[in-house]
Amino acid sequence: MFDGASNFSYATDFTFLFTIIVSGFFLLLITFLMIYFVIKYNRKRNPVAENISHNTTLEIVWTVVPLILVLTMFWLGWRDYLKQEAVPKNAYAIDVTAQMWIWSFKYPNGKQTDTLYVPVETDIVLNLKSTDVNHAFYVPKFRIKKDVYPNQSRKLWFNAKELGSFEIACAEYCGLNHSYMYNKIVVMPKNDFYAWVNSEYKYPSEISLAQKTSEAIKN
């Protein structure tokens, strides 16, 4: 928790933590009260049952407090959902195609890869499409996930805050080899990314390799 690598990770983790703390607190409280009442009001200690018709204060408290808590959970989720749905206008667009059982990525200039490369600290929008069945594009470390449907283009945006290589998974069972739909998303320094995407090389590592080779030839 709180080790995410995108602009959405902190808020998502905070909502999750809030929900866990509230749930954990009530799990302990209710379990404790149940055991306590079972002992306190057992037959030996209370041979004659008492009939309590109501307690207005208690009823208001146990309605209003949970109401505030669940509405807070809802509000946290809704606030982040709206942010995730509001794709920035100038986001860098990459087409993502899901098919049984691979992901492929197409950049604005037509370059295509099976690993997703993105520049760091840049708004990226993915246009998600499927050529066959339902899939789901999921980057756990970025706390982003969206279903991908055939005959429908859906958008998912993010801003990667950390350099490195992270897991992409398909999070919707899509047939026999669903579990094969793992890929990597590689977050690169901006300059390296644009140099690579405009180069003829398919893999970014080939750039540095080519640069090293040309330097070696010069020297």
What is the smallest separation between the CB atom of 182 and ligand CUA, expressed in angstroms? 10
Q: Are 141 and 118 in contact (CB under 8 A)?
A: no
Nearer to ligand CUA, 144 or 170 (CB): 170
Which two three-digit tokens encode residue 93?
């667009």
> Judged by CB under 6 A, does residue 182 bind ligand CUA?
no
In angstroms, rounded to a whole number, what is the distance separating the alpha carbons of residues 91 and 146?
A: 18
> Judged by CB under 6 A, does residue 181 bind ligand CUA?
yes
# residues contacting ligand CUA (CB under 6 A): 9
Residues 6-45 as x/- pattern, contact with ligand CUA by CB under 6 A: ----------------------------------------
HEC letters along 9-77: HHHHHHHHHHHHHHHHHHHHHHHHHHHHHHHHCCCCCCCCCCCCCCCHHHHHHHHHHHHHHHHHHHHHH
Q: Are 146 and 154 in contact (CB under 8 A)?
A: yes
Among 36-44, 75-83, 107-115, 167-175, the segment contacting ligand CUA (CB under 6 A): 167-175
What is the smallest separation between the CB atom of 114 and ligand CUA, expressed in angstroms? 14
> Judged by CB under 6 A, does residue 174 bind ligand CUA?
yes
Residues that bind ligand CUA (CB under 6 A): 98, 101, 135, 170, 172-174, 178, 181
